[in-house]
Every structure is written in structure tokens, then in C-alpha cells.
Amino acid sequence: MPAAAPDFRQRFLAFALARDVLRFGDFVTKAGRRTPYFFNAGLFNDGASLATLGRFYAEALMAAGVPFDMLFGPAYKGITLAASTAIALAQNGHNVPFSFNRKEAKDHGEGGDIVGAPLAGRVVIVDDVITDGGAKREAIERVRAAGATPVAIMIAFDRKERGRGALSAVQEITRDFGVPVVAIATLDDLRRFIDTDAALAAHAPAIDGYRAQYGVQ
């Protein structure tokens, strides 16, 4: 009997590794922590990568089973991510509108700070990662101010790492706003991923140590 194909989380991590988005070594995070791995979604920076990334977002969103009516991409990184996810969903028979915001409201032409479809119904916010959670809080409040309902936040990777307190920024968002965060892959998926390759498995002790020091449940 043939082996089962890797699920989308494992395929996504293999894709990120091949694009040098996922790296192993000795790095320092924005918070000043030394980390044995680094994930930089900004390196999905060509057409083919963005198209593939959109398909992974769409697959993860459908797998999450969250009912939704449209996508919203917070400026700036969320703009291309929401658009590529909307395209991937449409190619799989789920055509939904999307919109994004300007950093500054436009006072001429169509005006306002929202571009694309009006924010309405059940909205999924699409972005790359959550660090301190500030940008996602703004996005949630923007969606609600428009009279729509944020039903999920989609991100590429969840480090499952504590912020300043006992919780991660992801957990704080869910606690404070009641909005679930859906990641294509998490640190738990990464840990399983490296066990499939002898060379990558050499990084396991360092990752386990880092998780023991900074991780959340």
C-alpha cells in the first residue's frame, strides 16, 4: 500500500524550506531572542511563489471549516495575500469578494480607506504572521466598525511563542476578541516536519530547547 501523501501543512513547510523562507541556524528575533529557526514570509516574492502560497492559504481556510463571506487584507502585506487567496478559492469553486485598506483615507475619487468589495457579512482577515498583534487588532476593529463580523484571522505560520506575558500574541487575540487564528502551519507541524529528514532532525534539540524556554501550550 503506498504511503499517504503529506498533508498541506507538511507540504507547505517543504515549500517554505525550498524557497528559503524557512531557515535553520542561529538567528535573533525582533524580541531579541536567539532562535534556531527563522520564518520570513516576505521571501515569497515572485509570481509562482505567491500563487502557490495563495493555494495553501485557501486549503488551510477550507480545512478549518469556518463559514465566511469575504476576505480582507490589511495593508500592506495582507493585500497580496488576500488577493492570491481569493484567486485560489475561486479556482476551486469558492468565488468570494475581497478588499483591503489604504494606510491613509483618500479624499477624492471614490474616497474612503477601503479598496475593493465593501466590508460586509462574515470576514476572514488574511495576513502573514502575528508578532505583537497590534495590526490584527486594528484590522478587527476596522471590520467591526464597518458593521461586518470578523470570523477568523489567517496567517502563514504560528511560532506558538510567548509574548510579554504567559500567552502568545495569537492566544491574546483570541482571548480579547473571540476571533480564532488559523495558521497554515505551526511550530508543532514544524517539529514533525524535521523528523522526516535526518539532516533537519539535527536541529530538533535546539528547537525543543527554545520551545521549552519560550513556548506556549
- CA dihedral (28, 56, 84, 143) positive or negative: negative
Catalytic residue among 30, 77, 108, 136: 108
The whole-angstrom separation of Cα 186 and Cα 197 is: 18
- The SS3 assignment for 155 reads strand
Residue 16 and residue 53 in contact, taking contact as beta carbons nearer than 8 Å: no
- CA dihedral (178, 11, 48, 129) positive or negative: positive
106 a catalytic residue: yes
Q: Which of 54, 30, 33, 210 is nearest to 130 (CA)?
A: 30
Q: Which of 98, 67, 173, 69 is nearest to 129 (CA)?
A: 173
Residue 81 and residue 126 in contact, taking contact as beta carbons nearer than 8 Å: yes
CA 34 to chain CA mean position, Å: 22
Catalytic residue among 106, 136, 160, 203: 106
203 a catalytic residue: no
Q: How far is CA 81 from CA 41, 55, 104, 213, in A?
A: 11, 10, 20, 32
Tell me the H-state helices in 65-168. 77-91, 134-145
Would you please indicate which residues are annotated as catalytic (active-site) residues?
Answer: 106, 108
